[in-house]
């Protein structure tokens, strides 16, 4: 009887050990699968992020035009004295032109107090340009200068390369005359108007695209995505 009891205990112990090993293995396998899934998901996210970043890097912003109001009115003769190197010839042009070498930008000032900044390639550059001019005018003692003027982006011009030759005749026929203008005798590019957002794309046979009319950088990307989608759907871009 003692031997039978010992045998039963041994069998029970073996079953318990086997179950423990099986449970441990299952947990280990589950953890491995979870870890593998996490790594795969992380890799996918990283790859998507890299792809998105690479896409953004292809878009080259060439010019941002922004407007603001620096005062209720400006005496441009006084402004010309305050801004060293300013160009003011009212007989030829009603505004004053001031160039900032550090930013490689120019600002046009008018008697109405309004100003336009051009030449910047980032919104930050626009802000620095206007801030620098405001400081100089304040330092010169010009009255009623707005210290923190509102800045409105009027137009962003960007360049993009589709990395593929384009058949502009086929595009003009396929996309329709409502949104396309193409007169190669007058201009070598095709004008394509995106409905939403309201941006204009100039397409060239080399695959280069110039985007204009955007108010923010996201408009450029959305406009390009729309263009590529339509060209691919028509079999005109691979």
pLDDT tens per residue, range 39-50: 556 555 555 444
pLDDT of residue 19 exceeding 70: no
Domains assigned to the chain: 65-153 (3.30.310.10), 162-233 (3.30.310.10)
Average pLDDT of the chain to the nearest whole number: 85
Of 220, 193, 238, nearest in space to 58 by CA:
220
Give the per-residue pLDDT at 178: 86
Alpha-carbon gap, residue 237 to 178, rounded angstroms: 21
Model confidence pLDDT, tens digit, residues 93-139 = 999 999 999 999 999 999 999 999 999 999 999 999 999 999 999 99
Give the per-residue pLDDT at 98: 98
Give the per-residue pLDDT at 12: 54
Alpha-carbon gap, residue 198 to 5, rounded angstroms: 87
> Residue 162: which residues within 8 A CB-CB, separation 6 or more?
207, 208, 209, 228, 237
3-state DSSP assignment of residue 205: coil
- Is the whole-model pTM more than 0.85? no
Give the per-residue pLDDT at 144: 84
């Amino acid at each position: 009887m003692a031997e039978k009891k010992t045998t039963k205990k041994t069998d029970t112990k073996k079953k318990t050990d086997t179950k423990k090993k099986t449970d441990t293995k299952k947990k280990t396998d589950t953890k491995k699968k979870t870890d593998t899934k996490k790594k795969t998901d992380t890799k996918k996210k990283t790859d998507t992020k890299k792809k998105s970043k690479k896409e953004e890097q292809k878009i080259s912003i060439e010019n941002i035009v922004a407007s603001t109001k620096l005062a209720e009115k400006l005496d441009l003769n006084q402004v010309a004295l305050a801004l060293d190197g300013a160009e003011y010839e009212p007989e030829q042009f009603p505004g004053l032109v001031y160039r900032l070498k550090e930013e490689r930008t120019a600002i046009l000032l008018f008697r109405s107090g309004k100003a336009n900044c051009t030449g910047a390639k980032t919104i930050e550059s626009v802000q620095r340009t206007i801030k620098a001019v405001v400081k100089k005018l304040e330092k010169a003692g010009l009255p009623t200068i707005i210290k923190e003027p509102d800045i409105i982006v009027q137009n962003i011009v960007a360049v993009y390369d589709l990395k593929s030759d384009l058949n502009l005749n086929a595009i003009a026929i396929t996309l329709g005359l409502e949104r396309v203008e193409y007169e190669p005798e007058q201009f070598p590019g095709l004008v394509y108007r995106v409905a939403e957002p309201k941006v204009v794309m100039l397409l060239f046979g080399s695959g280069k695209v110039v985007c204009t009319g955007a108010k923010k950088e996201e408009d450029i990307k959305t406009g390009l995505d729309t263009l590529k989608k339509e060209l691919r759907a028509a079999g005109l871009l691979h």
